[in-house]
Structure 1
Amino acid sequence: MELPPVQVNAVKAIQQDVPIFEEFVAQVYGESDVDIRSRVDGWVTSLNFREGTFVKKGTLLYTIDDIQYQTSVDREKSQVASAQTELVRAQNELSRVRPLAEMNALSKQDLDNAVASYEAAASRVRAAEASLANSKIELGYTRVYAPFDGIIGISNFRVGDYVTRMGTTSVLATISSVGAVRVRFQISEKEYLRLSRLTKEEIEQTRKNVHLVLADGTEYEGVGEINLADREIDPKTGTLTVEARFPNPTGVLRPGLFVKARILVTTIPNAVLVPQRAVIQQQHLSQVFTINASGGIQAVPVTTGPKSGDGWVINSGVKAGDLVAILGTASLTPDTKITVNEQAWPEKAPAK
């Protein structure tokens, strides 16, 4: 009894320019990540923001008990007033002594003493005013404001906690500017050397074509640009830290997020592509099954190149337009009768 023909799905090998990307584990940082620190010692009296939200530059974030600092300002004001009173007295004395000394009614020594008293009083005024200005500055530090627009994190202190201006206990919270973000990743010495041998045009193309793959496997819609590389290869890890800048208009990229950075390293012109599922690998041999003109099937050894999306670059063995079988788990021989079900491929453009 003759067996019915086996239905075989097949697609045509295509030819097109194929961009080749490399992926690196990366982490997102804010364009600016700034620790908000206390510059005075005291008790936190209020939190004026909602943690994890966007705050505008100049927004009041914290207030710290200001009684001792207000008292210091009042004390320094009195010192300034006292010094100014003494300055007026010294100035009046100098105004009295100077004309008498010019008429020789008083000695030059008397004039010198009056001048010295006036200059000393003026110096005390300047010192008192400087102390007052410093006290006012410290009083101002009891109000902590956002230094720029950004997302503020969880507060390290609550109302009633005591903060100091020294050490790690001075960090009240961290604020990050995320209108754009920095993405850092490490490349190996070999990757660095290979990239350094690219032409100037290829390097520029690589620098401006950085893509991100998010944790759920989707590709971030924005395209980044490499803006710096570290000055040295880390001798402990043998890697070079590279940083790229990405626009972040929707705020989906948050500091600390782990992603994959995909860098365009080269483009293969007029590459022949077949689906990855059409390539069968056995030890060191790769082959595909093609459909010949008479409708038969035959195994063809191929030399494979890099993968791109769900396709595989074929360096030799298959040419554009050849009909390639998608066998799956089917086991066929050249004598097996088949019917070909030609399918469209690719269903979508190769991944960038």
Structure 2
Amino acid sequence: MNSHRFVIAPSPATLRLLLLLGSLLLISGCGNGTPDGGPQGPPPMPVAVLTVEPENIAVEAEYAGRVHGSREVEVRARVAGILEKRLFLEGQAVAEGDPLFRIDPEPFAIAMQRARAEQAAAKADLEQARREMARSTTLYQQDAISQRERDQALTNHQLAEARLALVEAALADAGRNLRYTRVEAPITGITGLESFPEGSLIEPGTLLTTITSHDPIHLRFSLPEEDAARLARRLTGDEATRPLAATLRLADGSDYRHSGRVDFTDRVIDPRTGTVNARAIFANPDSELVPGQLLRIRLQLDQLAGVFAVPPAAISNDRTGPKLFVVEEDNTVRSRPVELGPQVAGRQLVLSGLARGDRLVINGQVALADGMAVNPVSAEQKE
């Protein structure tokens, strides 16, 4: 009896799978492990590090502000009458005391003459009353007249004195009104447009024009609440009496040649904007700055000593707050909680948490954990 053997040939897919498994076993048997035959872990992660040093840094900030005249005065009429003439060119610079307008003075000159005549009459009445009083006193001492007649002469003298005082007050008032027909500049500055033309009938209190003082000039601006608090902390103690210097940036980007100072900072926060109003004063001898201009002002809010300036990207945050990764001597990393200050010129200031010579991880810290081995690469060399 003949026996038959049946051989089942593997399929092509099965052959490929067997070849792949054999290759993997061959590779695992080769000398790619550690010297003791164990498997080798992944290499340390490369990270960019920066050696930090403490610095003394001035904290500065810029704000938008509007230019205003240091004094803006409304020139108003003090007497009623016809506006006869304007004595200045609109927009012209005037000095304090320069004539601006003339109001018809004739009615006030007539009132002045009347008051002088009444003064003369009152003086004559007073002299007559003085003589009558002297005569009555002599006659009374001689028992030639009664006490009642002597008292009447004394009363007439007192009434004449009171009438003279009243007339002299009216004379002074008439003289003042006559002077007010010449409207003068109350301050030195630049005049505005006239409000009424010549020939207009005006009343006391009528606005005639305005004068704005251009030298010095004021810049009004607002500070955020945090900056105002920092500024208030700085302006304490010995620095409370020192003027806070300010620099003005012109529209073309250049700095104004005259430095200024902050002369007012409000102590109340505007609830609508959360800002604090402030004002700076600048010399403006050539009227280069014009009221209404929108410019930028730069202030030094603080001077910090012994702080560290780091790239903002180096800061990590978790539920405990901001932290940084520092490379230890054994090339492992440790996280440190830090206290942050403001950002200055694109760098984040660290107030505490770092020490001189620390190697700070500034790139690649996203996947780091405490105790992880790293391959530090100096940021300076990397650049």
Q: Answer yes or no: same fold by TM over 0.5.
A: yes
RMSD: 3.6
Q: What's the counterpart of residue 264 of structure 2?
A: 228
User: 5+ residue gaps in structure 2?
Assistant: 1-53, 317-341, 350-359, 364-376
Deviation at 1:238, TM superposition (A): 2.7
- Structure 1's 34 and 83: CA in aligned 2 closer, same or farther, altered over 3 A? same
Other-structure match for 1:262: 298
SS of residue paired to 2:160: helix
Distance in 2 of aligned mates of 1:77 and 1:324: 97
Q: Which residue of 2 aligns with 1:177?
A: 213
Q: Deviations over 1:80-116 (max 9, x none)?
A: 1221222122122222221111111111111100010
Q: Could you tell me the percent identity over the aligned residues?
A: 29
**Residues 1-352 of structure 1 aligned to structure 2 (within 5 Å):** 19-166=58-205, 170-198=206-234, 200=236, 208-266=244-302, 306=343, 308=345, 312-313=346-347, 317=362, 322=380
Cα deviation code 1:30-56 (max 9, x no counterpart): 222211111111221111111212112
The separation in 1 between residues aligned to 2:235 and 2:98, in whole angstroms, is 49
From the superposition, tell whether residues 29 and 75 of structure 1 become closer, same or farther in structure 2 (CA, over 3 Å): same
SS at match of 2:174: helix
Secondary structure of the residue that 2:172 maps to in structure 1? helix
Q: 2:78–2:204: 8 Å Cα contact kept in structure 1?
A: yes
Cα 1:182/1:116, change in 2 over 3 Å: same
User: What's the offset of the Cα at 1:270?
Assistant: 9.7
Task: Tell me the matched-pair count.
Answer: 281
Q: Which amino acid aligns with 1:196?
A: A
Tell me, what secondary structure is at the counterpart of 1:240? strand
Letter in 1 for 2:93: F
The amino acid that maps onto 1:226 is V
For the structure 1 residues 111 and 181, does the alpha-carbon distance in structure 2 shift closer, same or farther, using more than 3 Å as the test?
same
User: Deviation at 1:269?
Assistant: 7.2
Distance 2:99 2:382 in 1: 67
SS in 2 for 1:58: coil
Structure 1 259/117 Cα, relative in aligned 2: closer, same or farther at 3 Å? same
Distance in 1 between residues matched to 2:75 and 2:382, nearest whole Å: 62
Residues 255-299 of structure 1, C-alpha deviation per residue, up to 9 Å, x if partnerless? 2222112112245779999xxxxx9x9xx9xxxxxxxxxxxxxxx
CA separation of 1:323/1:108 partners in 2, compared to 1, >3 Å: closer, same or farther? farther
Say if 1:320 and 1:192 are closer, same or farther in 2 by CA, change over 3 A: farther
Task: Spell out, residue by residue over 1:166-195, the C-alpha distance to the aligned partner (whole angstroms, 9 max, x if none).
Answer: 3xxx22112122221222111232322233
The 8 Å contact of residues 206 and 265 in structure 1, kept in 2 or not, is answered as: no
TM-aligned CA deviation for residue 239 of structure 1: 2.2
Give 2:366's aligned residue.
none
Amino acid at match of 2:86: L
Q: Counterpart of 1:129 in 2: which secondary structure?
A: helix
TM-score using structure 2 length: 0.64
Identify which of structures 1 and 2 has the higher relative contact order when contacts are C-alpha pairs closer than 8 Å and 6+ apart: 1
Indicate the residue corresponding to 1:333 in structure 2. none
Distance 2:136 2:241 in 1: 82
Aligned to 1:334: none
1:205–1:264 contact (8 Å) kept in structure 2: no
Check the 8 A contact 1:210/1:262 in 2, yes or no: yes
Code of the residue aligned with 2:275 in structure 1: it is T
Change (3 A) 1:118 1:198: closer
1:204–1:262 distance in 2 versus 1, CA, 3 Å: farther
